[in-house]
Chains A and B, each alone.
Chain A
Amino acid sequence: MINKSPFESMSLDDCLKYASKGSAIILYEDGIYAAMAGTAIESKMNTVASDYKVYVLKEDLMQRGIDKLISGVTEVDYAGFVDLVEEHKTCSW
């Protein structure tokens, strides 16, 4: 679970260092900027999206006006977020 912008924090990179391939990564709050299409980290994120199951919280995308996402990420709402947390062991970075 990542809630910091990838442009100002190493949270995402730190998470990727330790997460095993195929794990679920949830981007929420400022973490959602990682899933935005057209950024300088897009190609890196395309790889991340193919190696991991990447989820992004829809309400935080809307709040920040982000509507174009890289392919391979799944939008979830608050209820979906809760389901994911129930389903997995969680770790906040």
Chain B
Amino acid sequence: MNDEMAKLMVVFRTAPYGSIYSFEGLENVLIMGAYDQDVSVLFIDDGVFAIKKGMDNSGTGIKDFSPTFRALEAYDIEKIFIDRTSMESRGLTKDDLVIDAELIESDTVEKMMEEQKNFFMF
């Protein structure tokens, strides 16, 4: 059964508040997780900003949804990856992030993308 499951990948590539993409991506992951799909999650480019620690919405009033990323584990979504180059070029380290995920190099990202059946880009 598991072998027949299509591999799906949700890719976060935009910053969290300038558009609705990142929030929609998170909802998408949670829905797929709830339906027991073979989902992996990848943060590239400005998507890494979505999981930055220390967001404080008291000035803007826009909901801070970064803590919800911590719920991914509870949905049995364990394949979570971050493109190292994207993270480092934005001055971030793993310690700056709200979730623990595996850092991968860009050529691994490329290989991983080839293995997927479908992508959902946000």
Contact = CB atoms under 8 A, between A and B. Distances in A.
B17 A3 contact: no
Nearest to A57: B59
Q: Which residue among A29, A77, A78 has the maximum number of chain B CB atoms within 10 Å of its CB?
A: A29
Given A39-B90, A63-B59, 10 more contacts: A5-B46, A37-B91, A39-B89, A60-B59, A62-B56, A62-B60, A63-B17, A64-B17, A65-B66, A78-B59
B27 to A, nearest CB: 19
A8 B45 contact: yes
A28 to B, nearest CB: 10
Interface in A50-78: 58-60, 62-68, 77-78
B56 to A, nearest CB: 4
Interface string B11-23: 0001111100000
B63 to A, nearest CB: 10
Contacts of B90: 7, 33, 36, 39-40
B17 A30 contact: yes
